[in-house]
Chains A and B, each alone.
Chain A
Amino acid sequence: DVKVTQSSRYLVKRTGEKVFLECVQDMDHENMFWYRQDPGLGLRLIYFSYDVKMKEKGDIPEGYSVSREKKERFSLILESASTNQTSMYLCASAVRWTGRKTQYFGPGTRLLVL
């Protein structure tokens, strides 16, 4: 069965802390994505990666960075957390070139920055 896991369901951090959100998929997917979900705004793409060590900015990359050292793992990094980064963060993965297939989502990490 398809599986995307995220390291934490809930996180509470303080302003200025460095925050790591981890995502692991077991489907050998090339593409991985990080979104944030906010009420009324739907999902907005932060970064995506189409291969190991490759990354591309999404719609809202400011304040975030990512790391993809292994195919199955995609990390989102908040270098210095701020209160406006309080949100739900969703990771997803997908095959690359088989034409418009779905993305598979993890359960999400709800981050609160105080």
Chain B
Amino acid sequence: GDSVTQMEGPVTLSEEAFLTINCTYTATGYPSLFWYVQYPGEGLQLLLKATKADDKGSNKGFEATYRKETTSFHLEKGSVQVSDSAVYFCALTLNAGNMLTFGGGTRLMVKP
């Protein structure tokens, strides 16, 4: 079946450090890929998405590139802030019914 694998957390960084959260997927078709973010005490919000190979999604300084050859969608940010502390979920969807398959989530903690 379809699945998403994320690096386990927590990831702890100092402010202004470079962030990478790895995400790889297996899918029977050609998925769209998403990163969601969950701030403390809140639901999930869409952070960015990519719908085809080599697309780059970007938002709030975060970027991820859809790499079909490595089945990956790694999340990066050049300089993290304390306010980026949250749980990040990688997800995919294959169908027009918008069913999502999620990774296990990665907690990011940014220290001042």
Does B89 contact A43, Cβ atoms closer than 8 Å? Answer: yes
**B32-61 vs A, Cβ < 8 Å mask (1 yes, 0 no):** 101010000111111001010000000000
One of A14-22, A61-69, A72-80, A98-106 at the interface: A98-106
Nearest CB in chain B to that of A91: its residue: B43
CB distance from B28 to the nearest CB of A (A): 15
Say whether B98 faces chain A, with CB atoms less than 8 Å apart.
Answer: yes
Does B34 contact A102, Cβ atoms closer than 8 Å? Answer: yes
Say whether B102 faces chain A, with CB atoms less than 8 Å apart.
Answer: yes
Contacting residues, chain B, for A105 (C-beta < 8 A): 36, 43-45
CB distance from A76 to the nearest CB of B (A): 15
Measured in the bound complex, the distance between the Cα atoms of B49 and A100 in whole Å is: 10
Say whether B19 faces chain A, with CB atoms less than 8 Å apart.
Answer: no
Size of B's binding interface in residues, CB under 8 A: 26
Nearest CB in chain B to that of A106: its residue: B43
Measured in the bound complex, the distance between the Cα atoms of B89 and A44 in whole Å is: 12
Contacting residues, chain B, for A95 (C-beta < 8 A): 98
CB distance from B90 to the nearest CB of A (A): 9
Contacting residues, chain B, for A42 (C-beta < 8 A): 4, 6, 89, 102-105
Does B98 contact A108, Cβ atoms closer than 8 Å? Answer: no
Interface residues of B (CB under 8 A from A): 4, 6, 8, 32, 34, 36, 41-46, 49, 51, 89, 93, 95-100, 102-105
The 9 residue pairs across chains A and B that have the minimum distance between CB atoms: A105-B43, A94-B98, A100-B32, A42-B102, A42-B104, A105-B44, A43-B102, A107-B43, A102-B46
